[in-house]
């Protein structure tokens, strides 16, 4: 419960369109994430990374890190919050919101973030990210004609399923093309989101 409250607080701080965008904060997040990507690409295990070392690599003070984060995994969670905000914006910009269009946006979003999805597994934060995906699905379902009784079940199911689909695409031994992934998505998750 405490974890969900922390994620919700981070989501409000980073994504609330009513809040003034703090470009320094965005730059700090980008520096921290880029340093974490370097560690990931170097083959380091997530557990080996120390906050002090990451901050030095990023050129960010530890005080600044702790002003915005409680732990290292928060750097990845913030990137998923940004991904979800961009996804929601793309859905809102669709002329017609239907399964065909939304599934194309979902698959495009997955392919644009394959490394981030791999880093989620690397850092072992799937439950937190699944909660974010389920919350996004719930927001969409609230706008549709789903009964309140089924909204939570369906949103949790979709959050888990979409995240699992994204992980399967990201970790596939033989690369799957976006066109094939879109066909698979539409076959496996018919008429969802």
Which of 86-90, 109-113, 142-146 shows the lowest mean pLDDT across its residues?
Answer: 142-146
Q: Are 83 and 116 in contact (CB under 8 A)?
A: yes
Q: Is residue 129 part of a domain?
A: yes
Burial class of residue 41 in the structure, from the number of CB atoms within 10 Å of its CB (0-12 exposed, 13-18 middle, 19+ buried)? exposed
d(CA 86, CA 102) in angstroms, rounded, equals: 13
Read off the pLDDT of residues 32-71 as tens digits, 9 standing for 90 and up.
Answer: 999 999 999 999 999 999 999 999 999 999 999 999 999 9
d(CA 145, CA 135) in angstroms, rounded, equals: 17
Has residue 97 got a pLDDT over 70?
Answer: yes
Question: What three-state secondary structure class fits 192?
Answer: coil
What mean pLDDT, rounded, does the chain reach?
87
pTM of the model: 0.85
Quote the pLDDT of residue 171. Answer: 95
Q: Is residue 103 part of a domain?
A: yes
d(CA 149, CA 63) in angstroms, rounded, equals: 44
Q: Is residue 36 part of a domain?
A: no
CB atoms within 10 A of CB 28: 20
Total number of domains in the chain: 1
Q: Is residue 114 part of a domain?
A: yes
Residue 112 belongs to domain spanning:
2-16+73-188
112's enclosing H/E stretch is helix 99-112
d(CA 95, CA 98) in angstroms, rounded, equals: 9
Which of 137, 87, 123, 125 has its CA nearest to residue 3?
125
CATH number, residue 102: 1.10.357.10
Q: Is residue 179 part of a domain?
A: yes
Q: Is residue 193 part of a domain?
A: no
Q: Is residue 61 part of a domain?
A: no
């Amino acid at each position: 419960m405490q974890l969900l409250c922390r994620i919700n607080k981070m989501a409000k701080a980073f994504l609330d369109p009513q809040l003034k965008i703090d470009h320094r904060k965005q730059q700090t997040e980008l520096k921290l994430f880029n340093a974490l990507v370097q560690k990931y690409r170097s083959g380091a295990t997530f557990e080996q990374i120390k906050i002090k070392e990451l901050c030095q690599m990023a050129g960010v003070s530890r005080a600044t890190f702790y002003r915005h984060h409680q732990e290292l995994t928060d750097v990845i969670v913030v990137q998923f919050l940004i991904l979800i905000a961009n996804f929601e914006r793309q859905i809102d910009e669709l002329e017609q919101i239907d399964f065909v269009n939304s599934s194309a946006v979902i698959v495009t979003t997955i392919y644009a973030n394959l490394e981030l999805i791999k880093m989620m597994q690397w850092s072992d934060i799937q439950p937190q990210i699944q909660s974010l995906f389920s919350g996004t699905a719930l927001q969409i379902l609230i706008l549709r004609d789903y009964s309140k009784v089924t909204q939570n079940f369906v949103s949790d199911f979709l959050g888990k399923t979409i995240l699992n689909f994204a992980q399967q695409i990201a970790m596939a031994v033989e690369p799957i093309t976006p066109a094939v992934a879109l066909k698979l998505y539409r076959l496996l998750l018919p008429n969802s989101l």
